[in-house]
């Protein structure tokens, strides 16, 4: 019988969307008013002619996005309609490969837009983001919930063993089949309508959450009246604080907030009242009323995700998410957290006792709190090792770290060479562009380096791709690394903390994963791997920051060029397990919150007024209610869990660190920083993207299953004899 047209199976919402995109009626959600732009003048509608198809940032304007999104969605719907209406029997080429080729315009526009809303947003982009989020969710639903399309995919899946496909193509077919089932392709039509409504709601809520976190971060920056209150900060830091306050608070000082609970200035501020104000402002974000309060959003978002999971046949959102990860099950993650929590908290309490002893010796007259931890950690470090982290910063100048550290390690390990390009457009003056070449001189990729913090940039650090590698589409990668390093006053050097150095190596590990991608299909490109595997290459790349031949190359005094003194280097290396109780506890607390929220059923989700109480009760129940160590992210500014792709997946950092610690041991056993080792890592794992089962890639590289012991040793969490070995955390 004849194949049905795509249009009868479209939802009313998508028919509205399609007609809107073709100019037949008003759009579903009004975007900001803008001067109409002729199609020929919109640079997003044509493939970039710049090297590597780098976006023409200098030509793109806010008013270009909405018409480009609409045209991209309309084009992809036509492409999908052509697949469904094809009178020929379904084949791998006319169905799966055709789907891989579809939506190139939409994907291009979405990559540019979504990346810039994180890196350099403004009110106009935020308004477009709010308007487009539910429309894009409806567009994806119209494709993945199209019954006629799924019939073609199911037909191919049932015959997959007889199609003669190579391994990557077979894996692609299997993944498409699973993707569509997980998207609801097998639901009854009435349930599909419910699912579409939930998807639109979730898309809107997480976009709003993200925007409010950024607004609250900027709004709650701490204003300090006098320079005397900033005692302990360096002259450079004080000058930067004065410069940040100059526009709206002349004569005062502004301490910006990062998205984490802890704040950089806490390590140096001597004035306890200012420390407490800064920490209080940080911890209260999103939960103290006002326009950016996120409690209602959290409640609505958790409930909507729980309802969606139930509709799809899963007990909870966590069960839904984990099924498609390398961990596979909630039970596995709960056991990992139960094994790690007791030694982490025990270590944190021992660390706190050492700090309290110093407070008491100094006759401080107070009990250690969260605002005091960073400062007194350095006092303990000084007491134990005659060394504090401020001694390191003159040896960690930004350009040395990047060129002579991050890039040098990649050159030694993989033969890569880097050439800075000053002839290509960027979206902000602080962004640098480097062209990357293989050892044989062949071009590999472009990498954008965007390291400085600014109000238009979301918190944290991340990597993204503007162009993802694909042999099918004939494109090479364009990737970007983002950090949030406070920018010093004009003329002052950018001196990094040890943690910022670690982050630079970490994010470049993601960049390597994207740049080394050598797959045919876009679905598998670069970091498009399970969420709990994506952090593994980046964490593995952290090992090189302290590898002797790398460290001695970049750790040079920014004024004299002298290498870091051997005695200071020895102290640095000897403190690698120092303060790991705190580091692990704050990370585990956030991970446990993420799991606790998403292991709820819809009828268990508290209302807005119960969000803070639920967080407190969860931490108390699992023995992590230790006030001096708050979660790395509290619920109301936990963007990973409520705005990004890490819902029920924040455990990925710990899970991936198990793999990374194992990999570090492998490199140590096989000669370390050598081209032979680098080429093996690249060919067997980094270049494969998501084209094979992730855990099989790991085993192919290391030769065995991952073990927990290297991580425990790395973090100094080996349990003393007789200590409890697991917590009572059970979800």
Active site members: 507
433: part of which helix (H) or strand (E)? strand 432-437
Long-range contacts of 698-703 (CB under 8 A, 24+ apart): 698/533, 698/536, 698/659, 701/663, 701/666, 702/662, 702/663, 702/666, 703/666
What secondary structure does DSSP assign to 587-626, as a single string?
Answer: HHHHHHHHHHHHTS-GGG---GGGHHHHHHHHHHHTT---
* Residue labelled with tokens 């042999």: 471
Enumerate residues 6+ apart whose C-beta is below 8 A from 384. Answer: 578
- Eight-state DSSP code of residue 308: H
Q: How far apart are CA 680 and CA 584, in angstroms?
A: 31
Enumerate residues 6+ apart whose C-beta is below 8 A from 588. Answer: 337, 340, 341, 344, 624, 654
- How far, CA to CA in Å, does 441 sit from each of 167, 412, 418, 437? 30, 15, 10, 6
Q: Within 13 Å and on the Cβ side, how many CA atoms surround 447?
A: 29
Three-state DSSP at 556 gives strand
Enumerate residues 6+ apart whose C-beta is below 8 A from 619. Answer: 589, 592, 593, 625, 631
What secondary structure does DSSP assign to 107-119, as a single string?
Answer: HHHHHHHHHHHHH
Neighbours of 418 (CB within 10 A): 18
Residue of 302, 393, 336 whose CA lies nearest to 607: 302
Enumerate residues 6+ apart whose C-beta is below 8 A from 171. Answer: 524, 691, 692, 693
Q: Would strands 462-467 and 443-452 be described as parallel, antiparallel, or unpaired?
A: unpaired
Neighbours of 689 (CB within 10 A): 28
Residue 444 exposed, middle or buried by CB count within 10 Å (0-12, 13-18, 19+):
buried
Three-state DSSP at 582 gives helix
- How far, CA to CA in Å, does 206 sit from each of 357, 601, 610, 651? 44, 19, 19, 19
Neighbours of 2 (CB within 10 A): 6
- Eight-state DSSP code of residue 495: B
Q: What distance lies between CA 522 and its chain's CA centroid?
A: 20
């Amino acid at each position: 019988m004849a194949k049905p047209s795509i249009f009868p199976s479209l939802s009313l919402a998508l028919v509205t969307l399609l007609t809107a995109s073709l100019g037949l009626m008003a759009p579903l959600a009004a975007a900001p008013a803008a001067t109409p732009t002729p199609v020929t003048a919109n640079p997003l509608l044509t493939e970039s002619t710049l090297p590597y198809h780098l976006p023409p940032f200098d030509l793109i304007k806010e008013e270009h996005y909405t018409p480009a999104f609409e045209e991209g969605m309309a084009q992809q719907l036509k492409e999908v309609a052509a697949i469904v209406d094809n009178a020929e029997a379904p084949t791998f080429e006319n169905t799966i490969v055709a789907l891989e080729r579809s939506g190139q315009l939409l994907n291009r526009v979405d990559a540019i837009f979504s990346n810039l809303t994180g890196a350099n947003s403004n009110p106009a982009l935020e308004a477009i983001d709010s308007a487009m989020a539910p429309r894009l969710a409806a567009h994806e639903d119209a494709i993945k919930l199209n019954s006629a399309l799924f019939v073609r995919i199911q037909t191919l899946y049932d015959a997959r063993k007889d199609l003669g496909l190579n391994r990557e193509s077979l894996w692609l077919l299997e993944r498409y089949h699973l993707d569509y089932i997980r998207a609801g392709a097998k639901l009854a039509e009435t349930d599909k309508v419910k699912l579409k409504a939930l998807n639109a709601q979730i898309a809107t809520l997480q976009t709003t959450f993200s925007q409010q976190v950024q607004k609250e971060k900027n709004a709650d920056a701490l204003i300090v009246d006098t320079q005397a209150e900033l005692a302990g900060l360096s002259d450079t830091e004080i000058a930067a604080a004065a410069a940040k306050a100059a526009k709206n608070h002349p004569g005062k000082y502004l301490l910006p907030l990062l998205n984490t609970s802890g704040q950089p200035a806490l390590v140096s501020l001597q004035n306890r009242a200012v420390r407490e104000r800064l920490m209080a402002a940080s911890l209260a974000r999103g939960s103290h009323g006002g326009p950016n309060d996120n409690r209602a959003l959290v409640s609505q978002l958790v409930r909507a995700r729980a309802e969606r999971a139930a509709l799809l046949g899963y007990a909870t959102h966590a069960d839904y998410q984990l099924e498609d990860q390398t961990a596979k099950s909630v039970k596995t993650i709960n056991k990992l957290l139960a094994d790690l929590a007791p030694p982490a908290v025990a270590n944190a309490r021992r660390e706190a006792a050492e700090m309290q002893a110093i407070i008491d010796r100094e006759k401080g007259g107070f009990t250690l709190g969260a605002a005091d931890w960073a400062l007194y950690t350095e006092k303990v470090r000084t007491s134990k090792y005659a060394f504090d982290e401020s001694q390191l910063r003159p040896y960690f100048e930004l350009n040395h770290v990047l060129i002579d550290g991050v890039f040098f390690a990649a050159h030694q390990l993989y033969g890569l060479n880097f050439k800075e390009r000053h002839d290509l457009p960027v979206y902000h003056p602080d962004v640098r562009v480097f062209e990357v070449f293989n050892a044989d001189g062949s071009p590999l990729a472009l990498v954008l380096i965007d390291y400085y913090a600014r109000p238009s940039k979301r918190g944290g650090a991340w990597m993204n791709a503007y162009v993802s590698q694909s042999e099918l589409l004939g494109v090479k990668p364009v990737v970007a690394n983002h950090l949030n390093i406070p920018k010093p006053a004009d003329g002052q050097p950018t001196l990094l903390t040890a943690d910022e150095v670690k982050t630079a190596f970490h994010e470049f590990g993601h960049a390597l994963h994207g740049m080394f991608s050598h797959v045919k299909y876009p679905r598998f490109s670069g970091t498009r791997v399970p969420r709990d595997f994506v952090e593994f290459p980046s964490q593995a790349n952290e090992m090189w920051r302290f590898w002797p031949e790398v460290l001695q190359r970049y750790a040079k005094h920014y004024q004299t060029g002298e290498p870091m003194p051997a005695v200071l280097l020895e102290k640095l290396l000897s403190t690698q397990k120092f303060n790991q109780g705190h580091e692990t506890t704050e990370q585990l607390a956030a991970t446990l919150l993420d799991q606790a929220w998403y292991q709820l059923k819809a009828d268990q989700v508290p209302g807005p007024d119960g969000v803070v109480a639920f967080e407190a009760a969860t931490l108390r129940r699992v023995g992590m209610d230790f006030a001096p160590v708050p979660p790395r992210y509290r619920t109301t500014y936990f963007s990973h869990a409520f705005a990004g792709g890490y819902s029920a997946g924040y455990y990925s950092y710990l899970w991936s660190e198990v793999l990374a610690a194992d990999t570090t041991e492998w490199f140590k056993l096989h000669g370390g920083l050598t081209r032979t080792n680098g080429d093996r890592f690249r060919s067997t794992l980094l270049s494969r993207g998501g084209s094979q089962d992730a855990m099989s890639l790991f085993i192919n590289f290391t030769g065995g299953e991952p073990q927990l012991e290297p991580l425990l040793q790395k973090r100094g969490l080996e349990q003393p004899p007789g200590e409890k070995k697991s917590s009572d955390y059970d979800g």
